[in-house]
Amino acid sequence: MAVHDECKLKFLELKAKRTFRYIIFKIEEIQKEVIVEKVGEPTQSHEDFAAALPAAECRYAVFDYDFVTQENCQKSRIFFIAWSPDTAKVRNKMIYASSKDRFKRELDGIQVELQATDPTEMDLDVFKSRAN
């Protein structure tokens, strides 16, 4: 599975400049390559991100999660989310599962990985508990 250059460039922008809150990636089956499907503005929230994921198709996503530690320090973590809803087709799930590790290696700087099959597995509480 090839990875379009734009995927790496957008990820570097998110990581270095905080230009985006999230990036959603899609596998384009005809070209057999991962492409950027959607980016979220820095002002967008976790709810906007969750709403942007399709209900019945798999996706990869990165989310820049900002939080405040118990010591009152402002921090952020970059989450990699493998979105694989139960309602997705088996073939779709298999394609995403088999190319996930290779794609993730292309994005240098991911700090936390989440595997989600429904929205509750990646709600804000899950992000909070995994960020520290």
Integer-rounded Cα Rg, in Å, for the chain is 14
Cα dist from 76 to 13, 22, 51, 122, whole Å? 15, 13, 21, 16
* 3-class secondary-structure state, position 77: strand
pLDDT digits (tens, 9 = 90+) for 5-32: 999 999 999 999 999 999 999 999 898 9
State residue 124's pLDDT score: 93
Cα dist from 111 to 10, 17, 52, whole Å? 17, 17, 22
Nearest to 11 by CA among 77, 78, 101, 59: 78
Q: Which residues in the chain come in under a pLDDT of 50?
A: none
- Is residue 47 within 8 A of residue 21, CB to CB? The reply is no
* Type and span of the H or E element at 125: helix 124-131
- CA pair distance 58, 17, nearest whole angstrom: 27
> What does pLDDT average to over the chain?
95
Cα dist from 117 to 28, 30, 42, 50, 105, whole Å? 21, 25, 25, 12, 22
CA dihedral 24, 39, 7, 61 (to 10 degrees): -20
State residue 82's pLDDT score: 98
